[in-house]
């Protein structure tokens, strides 16, 4: 009986080009289907809104008091042609980027320190846990007294709103890292800086970006609320001003603008996070 031997170093059979092309087309088809479903859900919601408001429907809520989609779009078209709309938009973006940028830098730094240093956690940890449950918007009176200008106070409120989600998520991500990673670097002669740069920062990136994603959403909530209370410019201030003069279509223009801005900034952070952590295995890749 003859025995067929197979060379140990024989190359693995290559995937045929047609199979690869079929897989790529299948993936592309799923992506486009997902996008179409998302767009269709938004359009369906707008159609339902138009139907309920145009026909003055009253169920357990009063849709007859809300403006129709067509009126809101007409008001939006008018505001897009004014300098005031774009000035408010730019002012809100400056505030959110300033406060969120400070929160990202300081939040990640203190989160890493809290996760790595017992002394820092003993000294600074109790202060953060006492301040964390306090809503940032409740600090508005303190910010008005503390800072000489309303602008600095609004940026401070935005910073506080984004800081705690970023800090807490970073701290948990650092503490959750396997100790064997650090021990491996130290065994090879690595210093504390090597551990920080090669293990702590890369390993905690998924948690950091989770905190950034949550932080930007909370920051938008608080910056708009702060603008309504003490601002003189901004999307939140203009939305509240429209409410005081009973201009409800303009109120919804402000609400939609805030939603679009929040969606765009959150999507940008998610995209940046995906690019920064592209070395991690994805769920779809693991299934393959």
Least confident of 4-18, 43-57, 81-95, 155-169: 4-18
Position 1 in a domain: no
214 and 104 inside one domain = yes
132 and 46 part of one domain: no
Q: 74 and 116: one domain? A: yes
Q: What mean pLDDT comes out for the span 195-206?
A: 84
Residue 58 three-state SS: strand
The answer to whether the beta carbons of residues 217 and 164 sit under 8 Å apart is no
In a domain, 281, yes or no: no
CA distances from 45 to 49, 52, 132, 193 (A): 6, 11, 36, 52
**8 Å CB contact between 149 and 89:** no
Mean pLDDT of 54-62: 83
Asked whether 114 and 125 are in contact (CB, 8 A), the reply is yes
CA distance 76 to 74: 5
Which pLDDT score, from 0 to 100, does residue 12 have?
52
Does 20 fall in a domain?
no
pLDDT over 90 for what percent of the chain? 34
pLDDT number for residue 140? 81
Calpha distance 75→67 (Å, rounded): 11
Using 50, 70 and 90 to split pLDDT, how confident is the model at 193? Answer: confident
> Do 79 and 218 lie in a common domain?
yes
Q: Which two tokens stand for residue 248?
A: 């409800």
Q: 85 and 50, same structural domain? A: no
131 in the same domain as 103: yes
Res. 66: pLDDT tops 70: yes
pLDDT the model gives residue 286:
47
**Residues 53 and 174 reside in one and the same domain:** no
Tell whether 10 is covered by a domain. no
pLDDT at 84 over 80: yes
CATH number at residue 138: 1.10.3720.10
Closest C-alpha among 258, 240, 174 to residue 211: 174
Residue 56 near residue 64 (C-beta atoms within 8 A): yes
Q: Is residue 285 part of a domain?
A: no
Q: Which residue has the tokens 């303009």?
A: 250
3-state secondary structure of 114: helix
DSSP type of residue 245: T
Q: pLDDT: is 187 or 41 the higher one?
A: 41
178 φ, ψ (degrees, to nearest 5): -60, 135
**Residues 136, 58 share a domain:** no
The more confident residue out of 26 and 228 is 228
Which pLDDT belongs to residue 2?
A: 47
> Domain ends where: 39, 65, 91?
65
Q: Are residues 61 and 83 in the same domain?
A: no
Q: What is the pLDDT of residue 23?
A: 56
Last-in-domain residue among 13, 48, 65 = 65
Same domain (yes/no): 248, 262: yes
Show the domain range for 42.
Answer: 31-65
Q: Looking at residues 155-163, what average pLDDT do you find?
A: 92
- Nearest Cα to Cα of residue 45 among 69, 11, 18, 21: 69
Q: Are residues 149 and 87 in the same domain?
A: yes
Q: First-to-last CA distance in the chain?
A: 39
Instruction: Examine the pLDDT at 1 and tell me if it is beyond 70.
Output: no
Dihedral (CA of 179, 185, 188, 193) sign: negative
**Which one of 21, 44, 65 terminates a domain?**
65
Average pLDDT score over the chain: 83
Number of structural domains found in the chain: 2
Q: What is the pLDDT of residues 18-55, one digit of tens each?
A: 655 565 566 667 778 888 888 899 889 889 888 888 88
Same-domain status, 150 and 220: yes
């Amino acid at each position: 009986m003859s025995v067929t031997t197979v060379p140990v170093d024989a190359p693995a059979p290559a995937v045929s080009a047609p199979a690869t092309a079929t897989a790529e087309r299948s993936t592309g088809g799923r992506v486009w289907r997902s996008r179409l479903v998302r767009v269709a859900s938004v359009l369906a919601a707008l159609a339902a809104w138009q139907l309920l408001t145009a026909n003055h429907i009253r169920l357990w809520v009063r849709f007859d008091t809300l403006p129709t989609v067509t009126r809101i779009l007409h008001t939006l078209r008018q505001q897009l042609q004014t300098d005031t709309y774009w000035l408010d938009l730019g002012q809100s973006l400056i505030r959110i980027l300033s406060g969120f940028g400070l929160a990202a830098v300081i939040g990640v730094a203190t989160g890493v320190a809290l996760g790595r240093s017992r002394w820092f956690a003993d000294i600074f940890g109790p202060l953060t846990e006492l301040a964390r449950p306090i809503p940032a918007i409740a600090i508005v009176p303190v910010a008005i007294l503390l800072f000489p200008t309303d602008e600095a106070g609004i940026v401070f409120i935005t910073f506080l709103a984004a800081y705690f989600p970023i800090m807490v998520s970073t701290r948990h991500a650092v503490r959750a890292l396997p100790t064997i990673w650090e021990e491996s670097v130290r065994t090879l002669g690595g210093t504390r800086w090597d551990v920080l740069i090669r293990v702590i920062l890369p390993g905690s990136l998924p948690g950091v970006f989770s905190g950034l994603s949550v932080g930007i959403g909370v920051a938008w909530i608080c910056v708009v609320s702060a603008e309504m209370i003490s601002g003189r410019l901004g999307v939140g201030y203009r939305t509240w001003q429209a409410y005081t003069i009973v201009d409800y279509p303009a109120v919804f223009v402000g609400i939609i603008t805030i939603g679009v801005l929040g969606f765009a900034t959150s999507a940008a952070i998610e995209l940046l996070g995906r690019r920064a952590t592209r070395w991690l295995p994805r769920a779809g890749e693991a299934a393959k």
